[in-house]
Amino acid sequence: MEYSAGLTSKLFWLQESRKTAEYMLKGYSREEIRGIAWEENIYQVKAEYRAYEVLNGTYRRLSVLPEAVLKAFTTCDVETAKILNLIAILMDSRLFFDFLHEVYDEKIRLGEKEITDRDLNVFFSDKATQSDVVAGWTDIAVRKLKQCFTRMMFEAGMLESSAKPRTIRQVHIDYRTEELLTASGLGEYLKAVKGV
């Protein structure tokens, strides 16, 4: 998967994702959900284009999850849902996955307590030397991605705050969810989120 800055235009959308997942599990197609999204305002937005934007973002993420994980996502507690939503986001964003895998994991292993500006800067600088795509991004795009990464980590429960100091919180994932993710072939995403 190519690196992309597309994550900057999307939010964490936890409740919206759970709503989309419910319709997907009932067998509704993307087009059918699109029809319902604005008519019934299932995402509680004020503009029609925004309803479709939320649908497109959540549907794209959720469509890569195995059905068993999608079912668990609609019925689990909120903390577990945050983790499953994060995993769907990571499956859709190679760059964010790499950040967790390369930076967050190392912080956990070394017992460090904070994601610093330096960590973010070094990560993006390294990626710019490895990828022409990243090298071509403007400073504004990179700044937005840094903000996006830390905001999503905060919303998933991995950071105490998205603003400085960005103190790390190691997430707890119950063993049933771990077994489900491993059995579903999502072990590498589980490791990235747990920091092991």
**Residue 30's pLDDT is what?**
96
Q: Tell me, yes or no, if the pTM score tops 0.75.
A: yes
33: left (phi over 0), alpha (psi -120 to 50) or beta: alpha
Counting as low any pLDDT under 50, the low residues of the chain are none
For position 1, what pLDDT does the model report? 65
What is the pLDDT at residue 196?
A: 73
Q: How far is CA 19 from CA 16, 37, 82, 99, in A?
A: 5, 10, 14, 28
pLDDT of residue 191: 93
What does the pLDDT look like over 166-183, one tens digit per residue?
999 989 999 999 999 999
